[in-house]
Amino acid sequence: MKILLTAALFVFCSGCSSLGVEPWERDVLAREDMQLTSDAAEAATDDHIYFSKEASSGGRGFGGGGCGCN
Amino acid sequence: MLTGSRQTSISTALATATCTLLGSAAPSVVIAEEEPKWDFNTSLLYYGEDKSRVRDLSLKAIVRRLFTDDRVFSFGLTLDSLTGATPSGAIRQDVAQTFTRPSGNAEYTVPAGSLPLDDTFLDTRLAITAAWQQPYGESSQFSVGFSGSKEYDYLHLGLNGSFAKDFNKRNTTLSTGISIARDEFDPVGGAPLPFTAMLAVGDTSNRGGSDDKDVLDIVAGVSQVISRNLVVQANYSYSSEKGYLNNPYKFLSVVDGISGDTIIGTAGTSHVLRFENRPDERTKHSLYTQAKYNRGGKVLDVSYRYMSDDWDIDSHTVELRYRVPFGQDKYYEPHLRWYTQNEAEFYSLSLLEGAALPLYASNDYRLGDFDALTAGLKFGWTTRNNSAMSIRVEWYRQVGSIPGEQIIGNQAERDNYPDLNALIVQLSYRFKK
């Protein structure tokens, strides 16, 4: 199993090596609006609202919670 | 092949570097601007449900202190003020119903035909987070953090850590994280023993004390830069909860097997009611994927999450944001979110009089079968002192249904799963210094 996982990771990373950009091509990617979480406060707010109202939570990060949430 | 503008910028950079190396005077005086050391991200949120249900006014601040070598300390503080009413789990009746308040010291009456809501929902919640993040070696970084929150009847304490490593010229990042938490529930009036009947005012013989649960979360993911304009990520999450997972304020109506009407009580409350009972373990698995794509300055943010747990709940979430810049330093961002889940295996509208009790049962609407839609618009702008402001207005709607086989007799004529509509307004202000 461990060998299989290592092999899968190797194949995945090898595949990824042909993707991407050079360091000097990161102008767009460095922009704040291109970050995967571009608004931390809004993301935390949404995670908490939906944790309180639905049976699912997390995904983007940890499951959230920490409330009795009626 | 280099474009004209890139050729120009590289030429300029080379000329500046050459001048510097030769000790020549630079073409113009360059004043180094000091990098901001503090990043303040604050927001004020209003969340309000219709029909006098839950309302929350929330103040949030996330402060980041940036140190040399990309080390960052962040601190978050949230203060929630909650009021309103929430469905208790009992079902509507054609006659008025009386219930004992969670404290056990008083009772309240719900009019005939109305959805029983517990209107004693009033709480203030203070939550804090703290985290330290720093590079580890040349291509890795780690973070350690703490989280805590306190409500009148609830205490949460948690620790977390994460590690990320970059590959392929930082185009690929593998990350993993772990979080452990202990939450303690100290319900008003004491936690009721599962499936015991709601008792008359003053009778607390079925109440226990406080109870707790342990939560373990593990996240592993990869993010990948595909091109200059596209970045994607995929995360797998595992979550395990063990301990007290009941909601101590929720109960079920005990009904007649033919009419579906709640049995009239002989002592205490007007009708027969039993407190809910959930399993004391829950394991969730989630797969989350996200893509961000830039096209001419406009940014499309799409994500999908699949969640499955051992309470037999499956859910799908699709979210879409599209940020469009306009004017000078302004943007608008429409947001759509669609969510669907099926009911937990022990979700039950009511309990049958005379039948053996099931192993578990809950009529918490959040464990039911429903779809939800969020639609909103955000407007952001940069102020004269270079701070970022935004306001978003969103509408959240939940529409649920009860599995047909659970509806008995007269219950078919009543709205057993009322829609939920909520307004979300958030004002954010972010500045650096």
Burial of B11 (0-12, 13-18, 19+ CB in 10 A): exposed
The residue of chain B nearest to residue A51, with distances taken between CA atoms, is B366
pLDDT tens-digit profile of B167-215? 999 999 999 999 999 999 999 889 999 999 999 998 989 998 899 999 9
Q: Which residue of B has its CA nearest to A33?
A: B299
Write the CA distances from B71 to A44, B67, B423, integer angstroms.
22, 5, 38
Q: What does the domain layout of chain B look like in residue ranges?
A: 38-432
Report the distance separating Cα B284 and Cα B344, nearest Å.
12
pLDDT at B33: 62
> Does B8 score more than 50 pLDDT?
no
* pLDDT of residue B90 exceeding 90: yes
Nearest residue, CB atoms, B168 vs list A16, A27, A66: A16
Residue-level pLDDT at B36: 86
Phi, psi of B314 (to 5 degrees): -115, 140
Q: Determine whether B82 is exposed, middle or buried from the number of CB atoms within 10 Å of its CB (0-12, 13-18, 19+).
A: buried
Cα B212 from Cα B156, distance rounded (Å): 10
* Tokens linked to B356: 């053996």
- Per CATH, the number for B38-432 is 2.40.160.40
Q: Which residue of A has its CA nearest to B312?
A: A55
Is the pLDDT at B145 greater than 80? The verdict is: yes
The average pLDDT across B141-152 equals: 95
Nearest residue, CB atoms, B228 vs list A25, A36, A56 = A25
DSSP state of B347: B
pLDDT at A29: 96
Q: Do A45 and B45 touch (CB under 8 A)?
A: yes
ipTM: 0.88
- The whole-number pLDDT of residue B429 equals 96
- Residues of chain A with Cβ-Cβ distance to B45 below 8 Å are 45
Secondary structure class of B79 (helix, strand, coil): strand
Backbone angles phi, psi at B338, to 5 degrees: -120, 135
Give me the pLDDT at residue B35, please: 81
Q: What percent of chain A has pLDDT over 70?
A: 66
pLDDT confidence tier of residue B12, bands split at 50, 70 and 90: very low
Beta-strand pair B388-401/B420-432: antiparallel
Distant-in-sequence contacts of B315-322, Cβ < 8 A, 24+ apart = B315/A54, B315/A55, B315/A56, B315/B339, B315/B340, B315/B341, B315/B342, B316/B340, B316/B341, B317/A56, B317/A59, B322/B298
- Structure confidence by residue, pLDDT tens digits, B377-404: 999 999 988 899 999 999 999 999 999 9
Query: Three-state SS for B22?
Result: helix
Q: What confidence tens digit (pLDDT) does each residue in B228-258 have? A: 999 999 999 999 999 999 999 999 999 999 9
Strands B281-295 and B388-401: unpaired
> What single DSSP character describes residue B194?
T
Inter-chain residue contact A56 with B307, CB threshold 8 Å: yes
Which amino acid does the sequence have at A6?
Answer: T
Q: How many CB pairs under 8 A join A and B?
A: 182
Q: What percent of chain B has pLDDT over 70?
A: 92
Q: Do A34 and B177 touch (CB under 8 A)?
A: no
**pLDDT tens-digit profile of B119-134?**
777 789 999 999 999 9
Least confident of B17-21, B272-276, B309-313, B419-423: B17-21
Q: Give the distance from residue A39's alpha carbon to the nearest chain B alpha carbon, in angstroms.
A: 9
Per-residue pLDDT tens for B300-327? 999 999 999 999 999 999 999 999 999 9
